[in-house]
């Protein structure tokens, strides 16, 4: 059975151009959310194994959505996808208990490994 993934991404080109096609090869995409509030609601309803969050989502930022999801469902693995390369974001993701951080420019080459690392209980950290 494939791990179930919820994607929270407001950029249609990223979502359909790289995220969804990359994920569908190895995982079951159970839903897509366009903002942080929707991501929290869908995570509650669907209970995915993994939630991918853009850190700059509208309505509720990715870090805030992650805190809510992890508080309600600590077994869920949260990974961030972002254009921000600053180490402070990666460190914040680690400290909140996320399963990793992937640069959007590396989705195609690193996302599958990042999810597998998170599912195994690790933290995926990209080389900066």
What pLDDT sits at residue 82?
A: 92
What pLDDT sits at residue 24?
A: 86
Backbone φ and ψ of 84, nearest 5°: -80, 125
Buried b (16+ CB within 10 A) or exposed e, 78-115: bbbbbeeeeeebbebbeeeebbbbbbbeebeebbeebb
Q: What is the CA angle 6-12-15, rounded to 5?
A: 40
What pLDDT sits at residue 38?
A: 97
Each residue's pLDDT tens digit, 67-126: 999 999 999 999 999 998 889 999 999 999 999 999 999 988 999 999 999 999 999 998
Domain 4-10+29-107 annotated CATH 3.40.50.2300:
yes
How many Cα atoms sit within 13 Å of 110 on the Cβ side? 19
| pLDDT level of residue 13 (50, 70, 90 thresholds) | low
Alpha carbon distance 51, 48 (integer Å): 7
Each residue's pLDDT tens digit, 24-41: 889 999 999 999 999 999
What pLDDT sits at residue 70?
A: 97
Cα radius of gyration (the chain): 13
Strands 77-82 and 4-8 turn out to be: unpaired
Nearest to 98 by CA among 84, 128, 119: 119
Contact 79, 46 (CB under 8 A): no
């Amino acid at each position: 059975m494939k791990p179930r993934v919820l994607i929270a991404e407001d950029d249609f080109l990223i979502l359909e151009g790289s995220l969804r096609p990359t994920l569908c090869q190895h995982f079951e995409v159970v839903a897509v959310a366009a903002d942080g509030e929707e991501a929290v609601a869908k995570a509650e309803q669907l209970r995915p194994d993994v939630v991918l969050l853009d850190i700059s989502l509208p309505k509720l930022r990715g870090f805030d959505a992650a805190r809510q999801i992890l508080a309600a469902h600590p077994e869920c693995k949260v990974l961030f996808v972002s254009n921000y390369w600053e180490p402070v974001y990666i460190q914040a993701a680690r400290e909140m208990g996320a399963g990793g951080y992937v640069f959007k420019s590396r989705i195609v080459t690193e996302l599958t490994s990042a999810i597998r690392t998170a599912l195994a209980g690790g933290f995926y950290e990209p080389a900066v």
